[in-house]
Structure 1
Amino acid sequence: MFMTLIGSKLLVGFLLLIAIVRFSSKKHLAQLTPIDMVFLLVFGGVVDGSIYDEEISVMEMTVSLLIWVAIASVFEYAMYRSNRLRKWLKGTTTVLIEEGHFHVEAFRKHHLEMEQLRSALRAQGMFSIRDVRNLYIEPDGTFSIQPFARTEPPSAETLGVATEDEPLTYLLISEGSIHSLALQQMKRDERWLLDHLKARGIERAGDVLYAEWSSDGEWLIIPNDSAAPRHEME
């Protein structure tokens, strides 16, 4: 009985958290703000404090979580309506380097070390601070870097070279499983896919490790019994 209670609480907490992530804005996947961290910490604390307490029922834990979600939603809405509150809770973008000139006070405010900056530059393929025209630190702690034009390679447009956009590619089969969503995006069905496989001597999707189709009509197929990919056009 006790284990059933624990399992029920864990399941409720898991489903509720999945629902929140599913129906909240996509930005939460890319940027974790202070209020998001507080929300997750308190959410986890409520679940953790309720799991082993037999006096707290599943319903009581659920209501507590829903109340906390409502409070967090009110703060989220308030931030949306108030620029001042949004800046205070989420922070703002800070200029560290502007037109090649360092904002020393900004570096000190964010406790940034020069080696930390050099590491961030190297991660973006830049190996000297002298190549940085503008540098910003975003509210989530990441760096946005704009190099001087002299350090950037010339583009095809600058060189006057004619180019074509890369075709879209769709993953249709992986490890023998058909990706129905990709077929829907292509406005195709499984029969179309299987017919193309049979035309290439493959009887079923389960015989395919990887199958990719591009919008220019090219197929990339790797059968289970061969490590060599097969490139074919329609």
Structure 2
Amino acid sequence: MVRDITGQTVLIAGASSGMGRATALAAAAAGVNLILLGRNTDRLDETLTSARSAGRQARVSSVVADASDADVLADALKGIDLTAVDVLINSVGTNLMERTFDQLTPDSWAAMIQANLTAAFNLCRCFVPPMRLRGDGLIINISSVAARKPDRSGAAYQASKAGVLALNHAIMEEEWANGLRTTAILPGMTDTPLLDRRPSPVSTEVRSAALQPEDVAEACLFVMRLPRRAHVSELVIQPSRR
């Protein structure tokens, strides 16, 4: 039997678009109380409005912050009781147009690590201590199938997403005895704004075969609904047509 998640409080980072936005709408419809975090105020407001409409009985609020900046993130979260957050979902991520190894520079490499991996570290650093204090908590990090197998998504992207996967497993190894569970979700190609950042335009045919953000949202809800005795360390979800 699945666990009822109605009334749980979930913070979704990267809620402005793509998988984060889809997860926010699905969670709101399931009766979850949401704190939405993102950098783009206008897009975050759009997600907030849609989530409130989808979950009429749920409480939905938003926080504007760049998760890759530790000080900015900590300051933005000051007004939130972090011990009341049951689930952290990290859906922060980006990629470069100029992504091949020979195109990378020290600056672009550092920017990718900062945006994808350091943001995950900063978020977990904020939420692991209060979850440990209460003896319960779930962290879901959206990594990528690129963390597990070579592809053309770029060296910096693959390295940063592999880092998110390793970070996720390390936290679980250290914190399982304190009641924490961490799950890494590894999606394959998904029709999100990241496809618009590919060096070559993505055809309609390729997009139609890709996962949709709602598919990843359903994977997040599946993990959230599992009983506390169950732990999913990794969940790989890929398009059935490749």
Q: TM-score, normalised by structure 2?
A: 0.21
Q: Between the two structures, name the one with larger relative contact order (CA 8 Å, sep ≥ 6).
A: 2
Larger Rg: 1
